[in-house]
Amino acid sequence: MPTNFRQGTDITQQSDATSKWMLVAALAVISMINYGVRTSITAVYPLLRTDLGFTDAGLGALGSFFLWSYALASPLAGHLGDRFDKGRIVLWTLVAWSAVTAASGLANARWELLGMRILLGLIESLFLPAAFALVAEYHPAATRGTAIGLMCVGQYVGLMGGATFVGFVADRYGWRSSLWVLGIVGMATAVPAYFLVPMKKFRHVALNPESNVAASQPELSFVEALVQLVRIPSFLVLAAAGALTAIGIWTFVNWLPLYFREVFAMSLAGAGFYGASFINGSGVVGQVLGGLLSDRVARHGAHYRMLLQGALILVAAPTLLVFAFTKKLPFIVVALMLYSILRTAGDINILPLICDLAGKDRFSTAFGITNMVNCLSGGSAVFVAGLLKANLGLAGVFAGSVGVLILDALLLFCGYWFFLKRDIQNASLRVMAVAVE
């Protein structure tokens, strides 16, 4: 593959090592902006209460409306990533979500800001399926877990830096200015991204054994790809497990800054920092270590990725009981860091497993479907947390995530024992059948 991505390449050509890791780095930076944009508004919840009159339920709706629109659009968005140029999808969604973020700073009514969050969800739904599929195309199974883990580092840096940055700016200049600055940063990033992200659609090919030439593989329709994927039991297990994990992820993303603000009387910048930095900084460690560990265990069989995921999620669950027993800040910070490292190291196994099960012609669609169920689940959890806050408090809501994580781990163990080996074998047979046709 040529080092200059803009020349394009056939997927069957040998990848240049520098180029494929450069792609991971570029997508990590774009992911950082993506997650900084989508979650940074949580740092200014107190200002939205006073400026636009949001209630706790209304603040929950800001997170939920984004996630629900993102979720409902994700399967079709993923299919578009399989059918069209993934690089251009990545580039233009970066420009579009940056423009919407800047425009959100102009909102003068609650319904206007809620409408912007819905639009942001629709646009951002196109990014991750295309980005993950690009990484999967450039990286073989031996390095796929590590590559996806490194790309996801950008997500956690964005979660960490976005809330802290917006809280800092909002303390001094107001919440509107912070959104304007984020939008400008995103649009400026699109310039180098144009030169670093490949802009030519890969052709998925199968080798004809009789003629020894590559023949184009027919593209699946959205319905065909969807039907084929939902018939794979292990894929459904991964989707359901991701949905359970998303309950805790998005509950913490949306409500942790407000928890630190209310319980410890922190400033907006301080609450944004504590609510994002420790849990997401630890997530960076979990992503890198988890990706390396996932690739290592997969050398003995791809099915071991699911066993590893279940074990790490199960060990992570008890750490959240800290919210039920103490309000001492050091204990809470340490528990959040342990939870984040273990949980992210486990979850990184989902995407390489999806690649093993889905096949190259369904990568992006499969990612889109898992995004849908994750965000529907996470959006519902954010909204319910807003409703339960008055009676249980945020500490009670956070502690309740323990049971969800245990259920998540048990589901993964069942998938490992009853479905995964057979489904991976069937996926390999499908690839061989396509090659023979």
The C-alpha atoms of residue 437 and residue 430 are separated, in whole angstroms, by 11
Q: What is the pLDDT of residue 222?
A: 79
Helix (H) or strand (E) holding 205: strand 205-208
Which position has the token pair 């959040």? 336
Query: Within a 10 A sphere around the Cβ of 306, how many other Cβ atoms?
Result: 27
Q: What is the pLDDT of residue 10?
A: 40
Q: Is 213 helix (H, G, I), strand (E, B) or coil?
A: strand
Which ranges of 139-267 does DSSP label H, i.e. alpha helix? 141-173, 175-196, 222-230, 233-264
Under a CB-based contact definition with an 8 Å cutoff, are residues 91 and 190 in contact?
yes
Evaluated on CA atoms 173, 178, 184, 188, the torsion sign reads positive
Considering the domain 5-436, what is its CATH architecture?
Up-down Bundle (1.20)
Q: What is the pLDDT of residue 200?
A: 66
Q: What is the pLDDT of residue 16?
A: 59
Q: What is the pLDDT of residue 307?
A: 95
- Written as tens digits, the pLDDT of the chain (437 aa) is 334 444 444 433 444 556 788 888 899 999 999 988 877 787 788 888 888 888 877 887 887 788 788 888 888 888 888 888 888 999 999 999 999 999 988 888 888 888 999 999 999 989 988 898 888 888 887 788 888 888 888 887 887 777 777 777 877 888 788 889 888 989 998 888 888 888 765 444 433 333 333 344 556 777 888 888 889 999 999 999 999 998 988 888 778 888 998 899 888 778 877 877 788 788 888 888 988 899 999 988 889 999 999 999 999 999 999 999 999 999 999 999 999 999 999 998 998 898 888 877 787 888 888 888 888 888 788 888 888 888 888 999 999 899 999 999 999 999 999 999 999 988 877 655 554 45
The C-alpha atoms of residue 170 and residue 268 are separated, in whole angstroms, by 8
The C-alpha atoms of residue 199 and residue 194 are separated, in whole angstroms, by 8
| Separate counts of helices (H) and strands (E) for the chain | 18, 2
Which pLDDT tens digit goes with each residue over 344-357?
Answer: 999 989 988 988 88
Under a CB-based contact definition with an 8 Å cutoff, are residues 258 and 42 in contact?
yes
CA torsion angle 356 357 359 362 (round to 10): -130
What are the sequence ranges of the domains in the chain?
A: 5-436
pTM of the full predicted structure? 0.73
Cα angle 59, 65, 68 (rounded to 5 degrees) comes to 140
Please provide the DSSP assignment of 62-116 as one string. HHHHHHHHHHHHHHHHHHHHHHS-HHHHHHHHHHHHHHHHHHHTT--SHHHHHHH
Q: What is the pLDDT of residue 268?
A: 75
